[in-house]
C-alpha cells in the first residue's frame, strides 16, 4: 500500500495528539492522587488537633470541676466545722451560763432555819439552832461554827469543824477605863476575817453552858448588822450528851475580806446617861440579869454594890432548863411578866459586864418578841464605879 507524505504527516499529528491526551490524563491522575494524599494527611492532623483540643478541654474541664468540687467540699467542710464549733461554743456558753446561774441561785438561797422549836411557842427562832440542825449542816460551806469555850475545853473535844474564838477578846474591849464594852466594828470584822468569815456566811456560836457568851456574840453582830447569826440551844454539853460526834482536829481556815456595811444599830445599845434619864419614866424599865446577891449589894464587884433605882431583878439562869436549853415561851413569859418586865415598854438589860445582859436581851427580843430591848453595855462595871450614878441596895 502506498503512502504519500501528506498521509504520513496526518497520521503523525494524530498520534501526537493521542500521546498528548494520554500524558494529560496521566498527569491529571497523578495530580488527583497528590491532592488525596495531602487531604488525607491534613484530615488526620486536624482530627488529631481537634481530638487533642477536645481532650485538653475535657481534662481542663474535669480538672476545673474537680478543683471546684474540692473547693466546694473544703468550703462546706469549713462551714460545717465552723457551725459545729459555733454550736459547741454556744452549748458551752449555755452550760456555763446555767452553771453560773445555778451557783448564783444557790448562793442567794438562805441557809435553812432550824426546826423542832414549834411546840415552844417562841416569837422568832431565826437566830436559834438545834443540835440536829448542826448535824445536818456540818458539811455546809456557807455555815461557820464557832466554839467560845476556853482553850482546854476546846482541846479536849469539840463539834467537828468548829473554830475556837476567844470571846472576851473578840466581843469585849476596855475603852476609857471601862472594861467589857463592845469593840469598834472594824476590830470585830478583822477578827472574823482572820478565820475566813464573810458577810455572806451564816455564823453559829456555842459555848460551855446556857449560851451566855454565844448571846454576846449574837448581840454584837446584830449591832453591827451581820445578816445571819445564830446560837446553839443547849450548847456543847447537849451535843455531847446526845452522843454526837466529837473530835480534836483543829481547822486551819483561810483569811477572808470582811467589813460591816451599815452603821451600828443604836436601838440595841444604851449608855449610862440614857439609863439615868429613864429611871422615873414609866414607859421604860431596867431588867437586872445578875444574881439576887449582886442585886442586893451583898456580892459587890465594883466600888459600890447594889442596883439601879426602880430596876427589877431576873437572874438570867431562870430562863433555862436544867440541860441548858431555853424554857418554852409560856414559862418565860410567866417569869418576866411576874417581875413587871412586860411588852410595850423599852426594856434595858444589864449585868456586871453585859454578857448575862445580852442573854436576857436574846430571851426578850427574840424568843418573846418584845419590840424594844436595849443592852446597857457599861453595866455594873461602869455604873458601880462611877460616883455620880444613883444606887439602891
Contact 123, 329 (CB under 8 A): yes
From the list 351, 357, 364, 373, the catalytic residue is: 351
Alpha-carbon distance of 201 to 223, in angstroms, equals 17
Q: Which of 349, 377, 345, 50 is nearest to 223 (CA)?
A: 377
Q: In a 10 Å sphere around its CB, with 0-12 CB exposed, 13-18 middle and 19+ buried, how is residue 129 labelled?
A: buried
Alpha-carbon distance of 367 to 369, in angstroms, equals 6
351 is catalytic: yes
Provide the b/e sequence for 26-54 (b: ≥16 CB within 10 Å): eeeeeeeeeeeeeeeeeeeeeeeeeeeee
Q: Is 181 strand, coil or helix?
A: strand
Contact 154, 248 (CB under 8 A): no
Element (H, E) at 81: helix 5-108
Contact 44, 36 (CB under 8 A): no
Q: Which residues, including other chains, have CB under 8 Å from residue 81's CB and lie 6 or more apart?
A: none
- Helical H segments across 109-198, by residue range: 131-136, 151-156, 167-171, 185-194
Q: Is 180 strand, coil or helix?
A: strand
Q: Which of 154, 159, 163 is nearest to 255 (CA)?
A: 163
Tell me the catalytic residues: 351
Amino acid at each position: 500500500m502506498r503512502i504519500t507524505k501528506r498521509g504520513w504527516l496526518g497520521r503523525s499529528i494524530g498520534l501526537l495528539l493521542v500521546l498528548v491526551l494520554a500524558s494529560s490524563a496521566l498527569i491529571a491522575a497523578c495530580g488527583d492522587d497528590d491532592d488525596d494524599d495531602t487531604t488525607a494527611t491534613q484530615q488526620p492532623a486536624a482530627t488529631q488537633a481537634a481530638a487533642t483540643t477536645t481532650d485538653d478541654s475535657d481534662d481542663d474541664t474535669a480538672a476545673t470541676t474537680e478543683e471546684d468540687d474540692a473547693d466546694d467540699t473544703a468550703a462546706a467542710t469549713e462551714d460545717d466545722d465552723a457551725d459545729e464549733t459555733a454550736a459547741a461554743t454556744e452549748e458551752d456558753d449555755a452550760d456555763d451560763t446555767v452553771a453560773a446561774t445555778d451557783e448564783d441561785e444557790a448562793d442567794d438561797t438562805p441557809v435553812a432555819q432550824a426546826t423542832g422549836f414549834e411546840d415552844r411557842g417562841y416569837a422568832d427562832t431565826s437566830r436559834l439552832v438545834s443540835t440536829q440542825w448542826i448535824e445536818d449542816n456540818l458539811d455546809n460551806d456557807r455555815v461557820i461554827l464557832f466554839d467560845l469555850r476556853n482553850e482546854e475545853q476546846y482541846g479536849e473535844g469539840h463539834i467537828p469543824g468548829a473554830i475556837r474564838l476567844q470571846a472576851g477578846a473578840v466581843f469585849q474591849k476596855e475603852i476609857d477605863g471601862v472594861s467589857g464594852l463592845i469593840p469598834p466594828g472594824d476590830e470585830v470584822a478583822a477578827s472574823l476575817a482572820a478565820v475566813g468569815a464573810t458577810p455572806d456566811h451564816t455564823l453559829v456560836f456555842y459555848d460551855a453552858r446556857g449560851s451566855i457568851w454565844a448571846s454576846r456574840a449574837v448581840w454584837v453582830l446584830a449591832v453591827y448588822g451581820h445578816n445571819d447569826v445564830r446560837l446553839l440551844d443547849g450548847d456543847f454539853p447537849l451535843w455531847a450528851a446526845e452522843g454526837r460526834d466529837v473530835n480534836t482536829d483543829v481547822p486551819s481556815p483561810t483569811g477572808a475580806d470582811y467589813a460591816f456595811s451599815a452603821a451600828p444599830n443604836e436601838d440595841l445599845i444604851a449608855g449610862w446617861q440614857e439609863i439615868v434619864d429613864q429611871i422615873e419614866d414609866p414607859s421604860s424599865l431596867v431588867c437586872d440579869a445578875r444574881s439576887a446577891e449582886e442585886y442586893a449589894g451583898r456580892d459587890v464587884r465594883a466600888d459600890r454594890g447594889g442596883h439601879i433605882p426602880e430596876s427589877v431583878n431576873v437572874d438570867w439562869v431562870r430562863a433555862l432548863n436544867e440541860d441548858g436549853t431555853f424554857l418554852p415561851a409560856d414559862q418565860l413569859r410567866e417569869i418576866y411578866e411576874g417581875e413587871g418586865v412586860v411588852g410595850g415598854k423599852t426594856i434595858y438589860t444589864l449585868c456586871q459586864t453585859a454578857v448575862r445582859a445580852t442573854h436576857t436581851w436574846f430571851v426578850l427580843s427574840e424568843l418573846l418578841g418584845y419590840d424594844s430591848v436595849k443592852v446597857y453595855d457599861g453595866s455594873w462595871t461602869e455604873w458601880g464605879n462611877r460616883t455620880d450614878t444613883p444606887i439602891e441596895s
